[in-house]
């Protein structure tokens, strides 16, 4: 089993209200969280304060995005400083929906990663290929290019989790097979060893995202280079507790 601490992130996306999230939080607060598993929930920005104040301290909270500077005339954006002011310690950056729905470039994502880390936040940095890219056989080319822009902006890797999320498997019900996930994770780790350092390649957590469920999590989580999950839809359901305990 990997020496890296298992990491389970829940990305609530643009879902929930105080009533439904409050019920989910009660379920999570009473859940058994294995001591060797780190759990972080990504709440909508308007509920960051609510989530942090209600969730048990054993569960971390993440913002789902942030901007690349501390403050200024950027209507609708939030900064790492504001996130920290809510007692929140993580941010998800580069999610495929930010890239492909909102048009964020690799360069912007890199700038956000740099500023979030400089501000003391932990970063869940997302990478992943689209279906046409996988079918064209350029998965590695795409994910390595995305990873390079992130890596160029990281000084302290202890605060970074890499989330490999094949875009074709997000919200589609399609999941990469455990073998497909392991193959990409292993190649990413090899890329890190070659382009960053052997020590970082060994220590950095590379988690999988893309239609992870209570049914698929155990086999995915048993792969040598899969260090956890970033969970979308299932993180809003009671089965998220089963996913947290995938390695228990």
Cα–Cα dist 47/165, whole Å: 25
Say which residues have a Cβ less than 8 Å from residue 149's Cβ, sequence separation at least 6: 106, 107, 109, 110
Cα 214 from Cα 163, distance rounded (Å): 18
Report which of 92, 69, 73, 94 is spatially closest to residue 82, judged by C-alpha positions. 69
d(CA 83, CA 103) in angstroms, rounded, equals 23
Per-residue tokens: 178:
């455990």
> Which residues form the catalytic set?
95, 165
């Amino acid at each position: 089993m990997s020496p890296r601490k298992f990491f389970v992130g829940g990305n609530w996306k643009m879902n929930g209200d105080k009533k439904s999230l409050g019920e989910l939080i009660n379920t999570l607060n009473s859940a058994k969280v294995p001591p060797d598993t780190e759990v972080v929930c990504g709440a909508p920005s308007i509920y960051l304060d609510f989530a942090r104040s209600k969730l048990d301290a054993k569960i971390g909270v993440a913002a789902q995005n942030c901007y690349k500077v501390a403050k200024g005339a950027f209507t609708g954006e939030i900064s790492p400083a504001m996130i920290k002011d809510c007692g929140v310690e993580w941010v998800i950056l580069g999610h495929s929906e930010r890239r492909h729905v909102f048009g964020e470039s690799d360069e912007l994502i890199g700038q956000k990663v740099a500023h979030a880390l400089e501000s003391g936040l932990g970063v869940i940095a997302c990478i992943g290929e689209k279906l046409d890219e996988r079918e064209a056989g350029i998965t590695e080319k795409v994910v390595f290019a995305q990873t390079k822009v992130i890596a160029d902006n990281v000084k302290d890797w202890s605060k970074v989790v890499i989330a490999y999320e094949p875009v074709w498997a997000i919200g589609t019900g399609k999941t990469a097979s455990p073998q497909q996930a392991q193959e990409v994770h292993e190649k990413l780790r090899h890329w890190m060893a070659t382009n960053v350092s052997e020590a970082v390649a060994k220590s950095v957590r590379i988690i999988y995202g893309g239609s992870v469920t209570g049914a698929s999590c155990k086999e995915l989580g048993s792969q040598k280079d899969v260090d956890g999950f970033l969970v979308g839809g299932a993180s809003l359901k009671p089965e998220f507790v089963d996913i947290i305990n995938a390695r228990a």
